[in-house]
Structure 1
Amino acid sequence: MTSTQKTILIVWHSRTGAARQLAQAAEDGARRIAAELHTLEALRLIVKKADAVAPEDLLAADGYLFCAPENLAALSGAMKEFFDSNYYAVLDQLNGRPYGLLISAGSDGTAAARQAERICTGWRLVPIAPTLIANVAAQTTEAILAPKQISNEHRKAADTMGSTLAALLL
């Protein structure tokens, strides 16, 4: 990594695929804008499942994209565990860094968004845009447990979130 290279850490958790697709679209957007700006070599993208992220990963990044599902009106357990296990290890060391938040939800998503936003506020991160909530309209047990496919609208919005973060850093 060069001293001018910027690192985006994309942290994700997904059970049925929607949050993973949001993370992929955000990664694609970041890579696309870096290519358009002719600065692809200046951008380092690290994509990690929530349970694989360590404090060192957070400290080494210049910006973050957090992608998670809402489960039972809260962040998914694995994403909450990511925040819980890393929170104090990096507290007061991430101040002012930019982040984007992408939530997949069956109907609402606002509770998970509020929960994650409060944690990011505690880390003193700066949001680059309003939280993206991708509502997949899963209301029955079968629909909730089934593999998901995000809409083109949500895919484009996640791409924009990734490209916005990359553009801000580059």
Structure 2
Amino acid sequence: MDNKKRLLIVAHAPSPNTLKLRHAVAEGAVHEDIENVEVTVIAPLDAGPDDILGCDAVILGTTENLGYMSGALKDFFDRSYYPCLEKTQGLPFAYYIRAGHDGTGTQRAIESITTGLRWKRVQEPLVCRGDYRDEFEAQCRELGMYVAASLDAGLI
């Protein structure tokens, strides 16, 4: 019997830098000390309600686009919201935003949708603000590790 927990990472990565961030989250989530978590990374346009229904926790990633989340992540939510609404209440989640500005509108949009879904945020949002810095990758790696380790330990 497979006792592994499933962590889903749904992250929009339209540039080399955002791809580095998505890889860093996944890298942290598969840390060698985390034993019982299976990690799946899917782009938002390829993910859907079945992916959410089949996971035990989710990490979302998006760029800040015109003060909002990426259209790809919004499309993912549009297709997944009602099929998941009654079936994923309490789903542990975390998210990160690659924000050229402050990320406030993006944060507000994600919080609004996930509140409607009644998901449970398990970590403060990670907002990578301003010009790209290599430290964003370490922060994303830590986010992935924290969520996966918490899932592995049965804390979430």
Instruction: Note whether the superposition's TM-score is higher than 0.5.
Output: yes
Pair member with larger Rg: 1
Instruction: Please give the alpha-carbon distance, in whole angstroms, between the structure 2 residues aligned to 1:53 and 1:159.
Output: 22
Question: In the alignment, residue 105 of structure 1 is paired with which amino acid?
Answer: A
Kindly state the Cα deviation for residue 88 of structure 1 after the two structures are TM-superposed.
0.5
Q: Measure how far apart 1:48 and its partner are.
A: 0.4
Choose the corresponding residue for 2:88, options 89, 94, 107: 94
- Paired letter, 2:106: A
* Ranges of 4+ aligned residues in structure 1 off by more than 6 Å: none
Tell me what 1:163 maps to.
145
Residue 101 (structure 1) shift: 0.6
- Corresponding residue for residue 48 of structure 2: 54
* 1:152 Cα offset (Å): 2.8
| CA displacement 1:117-163 (0-9 Å, x = unmatched) | 211111111112111111243xxxxxxxxxxxx42321111111111
Structure 1 equivalent of residue 21 of structure 2? 22
Q: Which of 24, 33, 36 matches 1:36?
A: 33
1:5 CA displacement: 0.6
Structure 1 stretches of 5 or more lacking a match?
Answer: 138-149
Number of equivalent positions = 152
SS in 2 for 1:67: strand
Q: TM-score, normalised by structure 2?
A: 0.91
In structure 2, C-alpha distance between the alignment counterparts of 1:36 and 1:9, rounded to whole Å: 18
Q: Distance in 2 between matches of 1:65 and 1:5?
A: 17
Asked if 1:154 corresponds to 2:136, the answer is yes
Q: Cα offset for 1:73?
A: 0.6
Select the residue among 119, 123, 126 that pairs with 1:129. Answer: 123
Determine if contact 2:102/2:130 at 8 Å carries over to the other structure. Answer: no
SS at 2:24 equivalent: helix
* CA distance, structure 2, for counterparts of residue 134 and residue 79 of structure 1: 17
CA RMSD of aligned residues (A): 1.5
Match of 2:65 among 48, 54, 71: 71
Q: Is the 8 A contact 2:89 2:119 kept in 1?
A: yes
Structure 1 residue 106 displacement after superposition: 0.9
Asked if the contact 2:26/2:144 (under 8 Å) is kept, the reply is yes
C-alpha contact 2:27 2:141 (8 A) present in aligned 1: yes
Letter in 2 for 1:96: G
TM (normalized to structure 1)?
Answer: 0.84
C-alpha distance in structure 1 between counterparts of 2:39 and 2:106, whole Å: 25
SS at match of 1:36: coil
